[in-house]
Structure 1
Amino acid sequence: MGYDPFTDLAPVAKLPTWELGLAVPASSPVRSLQDFLAWAKAHPTAAFYGTPSAGSIQHFLGVSLSQTTGVRMEHIGYKGAAEVITALVGAQIPAAILNIGEMLNLQQAGKVRILATFGSQRAAELPDVPTAAELGLRMDTAQGWGGIYAPARTPDARIARLNAAIVRALKEPDVRAKLAQMGMTPVDSTPRQLDEQGRRELEQWRQAVQASGFSAD
């Protein structure tokens, strides 16, 4: 990157979080995450997983899963979630890691099977789908999230007003209802909490990024 997010930007507020899940086509014989890992180990040349792009959290989550289990899986980065979903539903790829909000309707329609999520607890929208931790995988939990940032020298008073406005908006019932439909959960956060999470996850994902060989340059 041509900038340092911790010195060139000022954190304002965290945006909603969303759960991430690993899914297979409905036609797949795989019924659980353990089944998928066993299949991937037995079929190393066919063990691919798709994500919306190289360098995404979904990409590095797959790398982390591979590191944790010792099961090699090759990544395919697409140009957005729509392409991944098309490939997954059509069984062109054996698995994908996506935001669960992008797969809920497909799961309900019987077109994909979500095997596991990667948060600290089960997703409210998928109460019957276990987390990776529940299945005994000792890997860092992961959620998708976004944040709003301002230029580094933005006055603290302005940052505080922006934060208050965003937090207030995320508490609106209609906003929360719409976010829930997309599998997203609004959260309250201070600028400091957003900064701390960014720094914490930079360290969390460093090893997976290095192992992937990915470079943003």
Structure 2
Amino acid sequence: MYPFVYSKLDYDPFADLAPVATVATTTDALALGPLVPPSVRGLRDFLAWAKEHPEHASFGSPGTGTPLHLLGALVAKEAGVYLRHVAYRGAAPGVTDLIGGQIACMAAPTGTFLSFQKAGKLRIIATSGPQRTPFTPDTPTFAEQKFGADYPAGDQWLGFFAPSGVSPQTVSRLHQMVAEAVNRKAVAEALASLGLVAHSLTPQAMASSLRKQHEKWWEVVRRVGFTAES
């Protein structure tokens, strides 16, 4: 998405990087804090509440121009509701303000919220991806709730890249090493504790996924109308 957000980048993600292997798949989520009444349970409920209480209608993200910023902006635009964006330097300070009642809603990786939801300090109301995440099976996806369905998170993953120009043999060896590690039970359990699902894609599958996400992000950035210079 960054080639569409920033007019100048110091790198070309397709020309300068060689996909090696993915480590895990992940999802993003919207969560509500105590500023929003407990009766507000779903995304549609929250958007209706935000329209009725514009003075409190806000959402935080880990930073301006990040995918999470665009997620909140996309949902707000589709709903025709103004949500004041509050940008943080990372997810942690935003979650602190969320559970402290300083902001109404926060967009962050799902794993960021899990321990706080378990403790009853916040509630996750929507997650990204084509199906519900196993970490919050009772929480419907954005697509199920008819908002933010075009957020390009269906193929969202974390992975390793090498500099372009690395030999195919080296990429193959690196991929095998990462894949073997990801398949270990201890690694899968450690990833799950962070809200991540262990999953390894081949370099070819990574490249294909990147191309698909690239095309989807252009449409999201266009619809939201955000650039780093705007």
TM-score w.r.t. length of structure 1: 0.92
- Partner letter of residue 45 of structure 2? D
Is 2:12 the counterpart of 1:4? yes
Structure 1 counterpart of 2:31, from 23, 30, 46 = 23
Q: How does 1:104-183 map to 2 (within 5 A)?
A: 104-137=114-147, 139-141=149-151, 142=153, 144-183=156-195
Q: What does the per-residue CA deviation read over 1:178-210, in whole Å, with 9 as the maximum and x for residues that have no partner?
A: 111111011121111111211211221223334
CA contact (8 A) 2:34 2:100 kept: no
Match of 2:158, SS? strand
Q: How far is the alpha carbon of 1:41 from its aligned partner? A: 2.3
Task: Tell me the C-alpha RMSD between the 2 structures.
Answer: 1.9
Looking at structure 2, the residues matched to 77 and 34 of structure 1 have their Cα atoms a distance apart, in angstroms, of 23
Looking at structure 2, the residues matched to 86 and 214 of structure 1 have their Cα atoms a distance apart, in angstroms, of 27
Match of 1:97, SS? strand
Matched with 2:209 is 197
Looking at structure 2, the residues matched to 138 and 178 of structure 1 have their Cα atoms a distance apart, in angstroms, of 30
Match of 1:84, SS? helix
The percentage of counterpart residues that share the same residue type is 38
Change (3 A) 1:138 1:8: closer
Give the unaligned 5+ runs of structure 2: 1-8
Give the unaligned 5+ runs of structure 1: none
Matched with 1:91 is 101
Looking at structure 2, the residues matched to 120 and 98 of structure 1 have their Cα atoms a distance apart, in angstroms, of 17
Looking at structure 1, the residues matched to 202 and 80 of structure 2 have their Cα atoms a distance apart, in angstroms, of 38
- Partner letter of residue 17 of structure 1? T
Moved over 6 A (4+): none
CA contact (8 A) 2:18 2:162 kept: yes
Looking at structure 1, the residues matched to 162 and 35 of structure 2 have their Cα atoms a distance apart, in angstroms, of 46
Looking at structure 2, the residues matched to 203 and 66 of structure 1 have their Cα atoms a distance apart, in angstroms, of 22
Structure 2 counterpart of 1:52, from 41, 44, 62 = 62
Q: What does the per-residue CA deviation read over 1:17-51, in whole Å, with 9 as the maximum and x for residues that have no partner?
A: 21211111145212221111112223345321101
* Aligned residue pair count: 217
CA contact (8 A) 2:35 2:102 kept: no
TM-score w.r.t. length of structure 2: 0.87
Greater mean deviation of Cα atoms: 47-56 or 157-166: 47-56
Greater mean deviation of Cα atoms: 162-171 or 134-143: 134-143
Q: How far is the alpha carbon of 1:177 from its aligned partner? A: 0.6
- Partner letter of residue 228 of structure 2? S
Greater mean deviation of Cα atoms: 6-15 or 134-143: 134-143
Q: What does the per-residue CA deviation read over 1:116-161, in whole Å, with 9 as the maximum and x for residues that have no partner?
A: 1121111111111111222233622526422211111000010011
